[in-house]
Chains A and B, each alone.
Chain A
């Protein structure tokens, strides 16, 4: 089973709201990732967690706050977002964060910021 699940599927929020995106995998993977994807563009890496520790932050604004409560779960907390943050947010996981590890993606959360 190579399934990564994400909730919610869709989210609409105002610029003053606080919301969270959730990601879950039960493949025993120890690396998890957040990507942002704008329409007709490739996914862009935001954060990498390896063994529940943040190992890469691609200079993401602090209004995005990741959290990895355990090896199966990954959250992305959103606060005071801007309309330009509207995008598809993808979660992925891999066995580890090493050279040559295949990443498996979830279906994404489509976020609209009004």
Chain B
């Protein structure tokens, strides 16, 4: 979910459980969304994306759901593993055309997987 102040939202799960990370986006005109995983000391790593003409997309162990009515995105991770521990960012592609497209990132969620 979204954070207030300086603290990252956190989600703590047991190994083997399913994880759901939520994100609210701001712009109803956004038409492309990406989930990134960022491990400590590393750059963001692409996980999965979805375009606004879809409401669900599946990858390997991950599923992204898009609800445009309430401007909500979620990332589901099946059978969560310790290696999934990281900060997860959603990002929306904003722009009105031409060369002004930008990725705007959500505040991030820290996922901790307990063995």
Contact = CB atoms under 8 A, between A and B. Distances in A.
A100 B44 contact: no
Contact of B99 (A2, A97, A100, A106): A97
Interface in A97-112: 97-108
Contact of B101 (A6, A92, A99, A107): A99
B interface residue count range (under 10 / 10 to 19 / 20 to 34 / 35 or more) = 20 to 34
Interface of B: 6-8, 31-32, 34, 36, 41-46, 49, 51, 89, 93, 95, 97, 99-108
A55 B46 CA distance: 23
B34 A108 contact: no
Interface of A: 2, 4, 6, 40-45, 48, 50, 55-56, 90, 92, 97-108
A102 to B, nearest CB: 6
